[in-house]
Amino acid sequence: MTEELVAASIGATAAIAGALITGIFDWFRQIISRPRLKLDYLDEKGNRTEAIYPDKDFEIHELFVRVRLRNVGRRPAKGCRLFLIGLQEVKDGNVRSTSFYDSMELSWASYPEDFNPRDIPNGVENYANIASVTKNKSGWVFHIRQIFSSHKDLMNYKGTYRFKLLATADNADPEFLDVDVSYDQSWQSLRANTSPK
């Protein structure tokens, strides 16, 4: 083997090794710095809050149950959305299906309701509404874009619903959370907590 061939072989090997190391380093850097979604319900003021607003001749008092979505990764989470992926009845420790058989986007906690995807940088908290009730009349309010006629029976339920939630972002792994919300059609009864796994 000539010296030129040895030098060329060493150069080619070094170039391949350098490309592999650079690729592995870049892949590892992307993994370490990627966004990480955190979805929670803490039963604090941010999660269970009241709004008062006028409606014609009345003053409406609405109690909201909301979840918090954060990004604890280094890069912004792009296009975050929150979905209701299941709604179950919980009674005496047993869980059963309801007439809700779809996945629907939940609204962010803003007025008017906002269903647009959001970019969430690190350190910023965002809240999304999952359900509310009013002091003026009984009945659940689900904060999804549209209620279908097949869901109307869900509005008059007395008891505990398990809201199965999914948070997504274009560049992050999904995050799941189950929240049990109890309501007996009287606004004072509204309670919520994260459900046991």
- pLDDT tens digit sequence for 105-154: 999 998 778 999 999 999 899 999 999 999 888 899 999 988 777 778 89
Same domain, 101 and 183: yes
> In terms of C-beta density within 10 A (0-12 exposed, 13-18 middle, 19 or more buried), how is residue 129 classed?
buried
Specify the number of domains making up the chain.
2
**Average pLDDT of the residues in 34-54:** 88
20, 6: one domain? yes
pTM of the complete model: 0.81
If asked whether residues 103 and 157 sit together in one domain, one would say yes
My answer on whether 8 and 60 are in the same domain is no
* Claim to verify: residue 93 and residue 12 sit in the same structural domain: no
> What's the rounded Cα separation, in Å, for the pair 149 and 55?
25
- Domain CATH code at residue 78: 2.60.40
SS3 assignment, position 30: helix
- Together in a domain, 61 and 153: yes
Range of the domain at 100: 35-194
pLDDT at 182 (0 to 100): 94
Distance between CA atoms of 130 and 144, rounded to whole angstroms? 8
Domain co-membership, 95 together with 109: yes
Average pLDDT, the chain: 85
Residues 182 and 85 occupy one common structural domain: yes
Mapped onto helix, strand or coil, the DSSP state of residue 118 is strand
Is 139 in the same domain as 79?
Answer: yes
